[in-house]
Amino acid sequence: MDGKVVIITGATSGIGASAAKLFAKEGASVVASGRRMDRGIELEDEVRAAGGEITFVRADMASDDDIKAMVETAVTKYGRLDYAFNNAGMGGDPSPLHEYEDDDWQAVLNVNLTGVYRCMKYEIAAMLETGAKTEFGACIVNNASTLGHRGSELSGMAYTTSKHGVIGLTRQAAIHYVKQNIRINAVSPGATETELLSGVLEQGPEAVAMLAAVNPIGRLGSSAEVAHAALFLCSDGARMITGHSLPVDGGQMAHL
């Protein structure tokens, strides 16, 4: 990925941080975003110490202005945009639907779905002028979830709905831009060891084992494994793949 430029959102922890390090290791210039400036500076230092190129941009995925500025930073500093991994997301309230607060519903959708839509809007506009004009074209990967394909007694209403929406948005946009040399896919992680699951992880080994059992492989996924899936979908080896949501779930979707 030498000479390529990638935007990675939600990069201050978990899957996003792993992806930022991985894409930089493979030669891409990384524009990483997140809300925590201290974590962003730490990420920059780590990537640069390993010989990678990275710029951290503080951005809230609920802010259209922040998202627009993030994409403008990539183009202004590096002159192009080839890839994007729209990874940022939040879990939300697990309350039953009849007890759900409108503000909680809207907060999750603003980040998990509308935030992805806004990222894609500005990313695609930049790609049409830069990365899409190259031989191999440009690529966007959205972070969905296995809960974008099914329901769950454990998941919150807004979270599951938002992830279904991400997959629908991914498929629709893929059809619209395939002839303009932009591929758009998603990854659908199963239970993965990230900060989003910190509440479960803190409950101890039994709670972790119960969650891991959802994945037939018998363990939680790792952030690095999801990052590698995103890297593959952006690579030239995936040139025939668009409109797809790739499960990274240890067999969970196959088992259902």
Catalogue the active-site residues. Answer: 159
Q: What share of residues in the chain are helix, strand, coil (percent, to 5)?
A: 55, 15, 30
Other Cβ atoms less than 10 A from the Cβ of 252: the count is: 21
The helices-and-strands tally (H runs, E runs) of the chain is 10, 7
Between the CA of residue 79 and those of 71, 72, 215, what are the distances in Å?
11, 10, 41
Per residue in 131-152, is it b (16+ CB within 10 Å) or e — as a string? bbeeeebbbbbbbbbbbbbeee
SS3 31: strand
Per residue in 5-34, is it b (16+ CB within 10 Å) or e — as a string? bbbbbbbbbbbbbbbbbbbbebebbbbbbb
